[in-house]
Structure 1
């Protein structure tokens, strides 16, 4: 069995580059996810589902990509704005990928900045569905 779920540990109003690291591990069957780097390395080849949810930080927008070995596979975005109440938007997306043992999957910023976390809201998950 291979599957993981992880979340960010706090909100950030200024994150604006590179890999989004999800240091709070909820589950990590097969030990493919590295909470220090934010990268999942496939312990076995097969068909996987990967899911990301990013929650925008107040009055900001954020676009993130699910990356496979440096190639963008899907993108999502979240935009929050201020009215009489602050509005926080969620940006979910998922992708089904056929990958080989040792392939790497991670979440990378495309545009915008910041993310919000009030409990496990900004998350990254993946699981093997077929070998």
Structure 2
């Protein structure tokens, strides 16, 4: 009888051990699933925060984006007569003026924001005429374009520069300081353009 009881206790002990092992395994599996789900949730949350930050940065960039560009030419049906040196060439035919820096009544581009700008300018002269023009910043000569004399034909000259200018600097095109000719600025071969390339 006692042997039977011992055997029964042994069987119960074995069964309990098996049940405990099963519970431990189930618990471990549940723990792993929980930890995996938690890591997945944490990862998703981090990704959502990164996406939200990217959206915020894009919106901030769009709000703070600064665009400055202008382009103007002489008119085909209206002329400006240059009669001497240091006369500002006035390009009245405005093609674009984002930032409102260019004034078609004076021919002067007033820099709305400091930065690196690119400027392009061109001169066109009638047959048997020649003219040098200068890009000036606050009356300081920066670069020249020359249209030489050609018999019985128009001629053009152009130049392009990239430079740093400060807010409220005045950029314009003027005739050569030694010019003694009288000639007409007319037609779209005469042009003045610029745009903000970068803020630094």
TM-score, normalization by structure 1: 0.89
Aligned-residue Cα RMSD (Å) equals 1.5
- Return the structure number with greater strand share: 1
2:169 pairs with one of 99, 103, 113: 103
Structure 1: distance between partners of 2:123 and 2:93 = 15
Query: Where do 5+ consecutive residues of structure 1 fail to align?
Result: none
Query: Where do 5+ consecutive residues of structure 2 fail to align?
Result: 1-66
2:192 pairs with one of 108, 124, 129: 124
1:4 pairs with one of 70, 76, 80: 70
- Return the structure number with greater helix share: 2
State the partner residue of 1:71.
140
Cα shift at 1:81:
2.2
Cα shift at 1:44:
0.3
Structure 1: distance between partners of 2:186 and 2:110 = 25
TM-score, normalization by structure 2: 0.59
Count of matched residue pairs:
126
State the partner residue of 1:46.
115
Relative contact order: is structure 1 or structure 2 higher (C-alpha 8 Å, sep ≥ 6)?
Answer: 1
Structure 1: distance between partners of 2:123 and 2:100 = 23
Secondary structure, counterpart of 1:97 in structure 2: strand
Cα shift at 1:11:
4.3
